[in-house]
Structure 1
Amino acid sequence: MARDGLSNDQVRDLLLRTRRIAVVGASDKPGRPSNGVFNFLLGRGYTAIPVNPALGGRSVHGMQSVASLEDAAPLDMVDVFRRSEDAGAVVDEAIRLGAKSVWLQLGIWDDAAAERARAAGVTIVMDRCPVIEWGPLGLPNRIPAGA
């Protein structure tokens, strides 16, 4: 089992029931992992919102960026591209805004923030990437509408 304590079935179900994802730390630079993951999520049928105040409202793969997580609400999932030491504040904000889940990307974990999320009924994924998980989980090319 992964560091986050979730089984493959739980991660698969999470990705299938999620529709709207705020990507914190999204970049408009093609070489950045957050840019590639953002494009992957759009290509799989998610509504993805880039969250990054440094983008100044510029678009990422045709989606206008927003400066704050609150501007991206309502939230199904918050996908976090921030250092581990900064992730807890994003998790707390996601909890406050009523997100159903938080996904911390590869190399990112915060066990204390994960406990706060779980206590609030928020599913938390840590140290994983949806691009890497997708194929091994047997997920379709696009998420089915209404799944």
Structure 2
Amino acid sequence: MSIIHDGRTDDEIRGLLRLRNIAVVGLSSTETKPSHFVAKYLKEQGYSVICVNPTIESVFGGKCYRSLLDVPVKIDVADVFRRSEDMPPVAKEAIKAGARVLWMQEGIYSREAAEEAARNGLTVVWNRCMMKEHRRLIEG
């Protein structure tokens, strides 16, 4: 079965950027890390940013959850800052949690994760930064 690959059009990405509940997997409390400044940017743009990181208690004044399965609200986008080889279990969590989109940040791609997520109805994006795409397509 062929996967839905990230040959997404600008219009498709714009549509995904309209989704508001973003669970950031691997969100760091370290301000200089990409996961932190991307999540901070998204929060400043009005997104609901949900921290998913088992190693920290809170960030941006909000609770961090150990996994996507622990998040008590609807997840539109699972925005993932993890190594490519760590993606398959994250994809399985995103599916079980009912996420609509599995978004693998710049430099991240797992064929296994992408295929599994797509097979289960998630839209899959990879090797793109939500912040950069927002700046390019929304802020323009």
TM-score, normalised to structure 1's length? Answer: 0.86
Deviations 1:46-88 (A, max 9, x none): 1111111110x2x212222111211224211101000000011
Structure 2: runs of 5+ lacking an equivalent:
none
Tell me, what secondary structure is at the counterpart of 1:128?
coil
Runs of 4+ in 1 over 6 A off after TM superposition: none
Q: By how many angstroms is 1:125 displaced? A: 0.7
TM-score (norm 2): 0.90
Query: Is 1:4 the counterpart of 2:3 in the alignment?
Result: no
Matches of 2:112 and 2:96 in 1, distance apart? Answer: 16
Q: Which amino acid aligns with 1:21?
A: I
Whole-angstrom CA distance in 1 between matches of 2:52 and 2:113 = 20
Matches of 2:6 and 2:88 in 1, distance apart? 15
Q: Is 1:28 aligned to residue 29 of structure 2?
A: yes
Could you tell me which runs of 5 or more consecutive residues in structure 1 were left unpaired when the two chains were aligned: 142-147
Structure 1 window deviating more from structure 2 (128-137 vs 82-91): it is 128-137
Q: Deviations over 1:92-130 (max 9, x none)?
A: 110111110011011000122212211211001101101
Does residue 93 of structure 1 match 2:89?
no
Cα RMSD, aligned residues only: 1.5
Sequence identity percentage: 44
- Residue in 2 aligned with 1:110? 110
Question: What is the 5 A alignment of 1:1-147?
Answer: 4-16=6-18, 18-55=19-56, 57=57, 59-73=58-72, 74-137=74-137, 139-140=138-139
Count of matched residue positions in the alignment of Structure 1 and Structure 2: 135
